[in-house]
Amino acid sequence: MRQFVAIFMLCLSLVQSSVTGIVAQTNLGGNLYLVNRTYRLTEHYVPKDLVKPQVKTISGETLMRQEAASALELLFQSAREQGYTLVAVSGFRSYATQRIIYNRKITNSGKRMAELYVAPAGASEHQLGLAMDIGRRSGSGLNGSFGKTKEGQWVAENAHRFGFIIRYKEDWTQITGYAYEPWHIRYVGVEHATAIYQLDIPLETYIEELSKTTYGGLLSHASQPQD
């Protein structure tokens, strides 16, 4: 009950400060657009404002939407100032690319493992251009151990200050449908990221409660994010 009241009060304060913005976003558009196995993007969706963040990378696939890219640059800069070197690994992925990755995971690891670790085409946040997989300079790939490193712990404690959330936490698998991914950060904007961080709830729960308290739960499966 206490958590529900906290969600309501936070949602109410956000609504009062930016009603127009929230109207667009709770239609599953903008930075709060919810993408998962229930709410999917079409194969034609590609953001129009994709840019490459000016950060350290280990691959060329690190495009993000402009606002998210600028926020990522600030996140990496702050980490560097604290003595932590982060690297960007994977940003925007097209519908077709995600389908290839998902099918390859099924072939290599089986469908059960694929469903835990890889989103089907259309169900990936990477297609939004608002997600980035990150690692550490000395790391050896994307795995759960990142969350135990100093870099991973710093990101978990500070990402919200730059508008990012750790999208798939260890205790949220039953709700998100995905295993623990401390390397996957998602841009939602500073206000929402801070609220989600303080409440310690997954994006699904946050958007559901925000929608209920503001618009009576009006979520559209068919709506597409606005560029």
Per this entry, what is the length of the chain?
A: 227
Give the catalytic positions in this structure.
181
Q: Which residue, chain included where needed, has tokens 């100093």? A: 150
Residue 217: pLDDT above 90? Answer: no
Does the pLDDT of residue 23 top 50, yes or no?
no
Tell me, what CATH number does 142's domain have? Answer: 3.30.1380.10
Measured CA to CA, the distance from residue 130 to residue 174 in angstroms comes to 23
Range of the domain at 207: 2-215
Contact 21, 30 (CB under 8 A): yes
**According to the model, what pLDDT value does residue 137 have?**
79
Could you give the CA distance from residue 97 to residue 108 in angstroms, rounded to a whole number? 17
Q: Is residue 226 part of a domain?
A: no
Within a domain: residue 41?
A: yes
Q: At a CB cut-off of 8 Å and minimum separation 6, what does 134 contact?
A: 86, 87, 88, 89, 155, 183, 185
What pLDDT is stored for residue 215 in this prediction?
61
Look at the chain and report how many structural domains it folds into: 1
Least confident of 23-27, 54-58, 220-224: 23-27
CA distances from 101 to 92, 106, 150 (A): 13, 9, 29
Q: Is residue 227 part of a domain?
A: no
Contact 179, 117 (CB under 8 A): yes
Q: Which residues, including other chains, have CB under 8 Å from residue 46's CB and lie 6 or more apart?
A: 94, 127
Asked if residue 81 is part of any domain, the answer here is yes
Is there a domain that residue 220 lies in?
no
Read off the pLDDT band of 145 (50, 70, 90): confident
Quick check: 19 pLDDT over 90? no
